[in-house]
Chain A
């Protein structure tokens, strides 16, 4: 089944403890992106990747890192999480960023930083 898989689904962590949220897609998509969703603010893009080894900042990149060493994986790294990074996170992929109808989203990761 074509899908974007995020792990973990839920995570509670403490301030300053490094964590990684994994994202993997099995559709050979070139474009991948991370979003965070907060009440009243909607979905905001954190980082995106046009292809392997090509990544760039979105609207709210502060406090996050990403890497794209393989086409299928696009992990989101929080080096020193803070409470303002408590949010619902989504990974998305598409054959191309222009194929707006072709975005596939993961099921989400609900992160709480205490």
Chain B
């Protein structure tokens, strides 16, 4: 069965960076994109971007272009998201999702708290 497992919660200081991982299983990793979506407390869903494991191509939402990097390691079927220059309004649950235009499977989410 398809599974996406994410790294644990973290607390970061403003200005720091965070790395979130998403280890997948149950399907051919290189055949599907991985999107990252976040949800601030009490707010809606916000798409951050995606990575295509097959060739490493990425696309980022404009508001994150200059401070996010997404990568994928086909040898371990794991996707990664690095978000830099963290601010307090980056506090959110970060989800990875298998993205074949449908977001058909989701990870459980990773809580990232930005606080001084």
**Chains A and B bind each other:** no
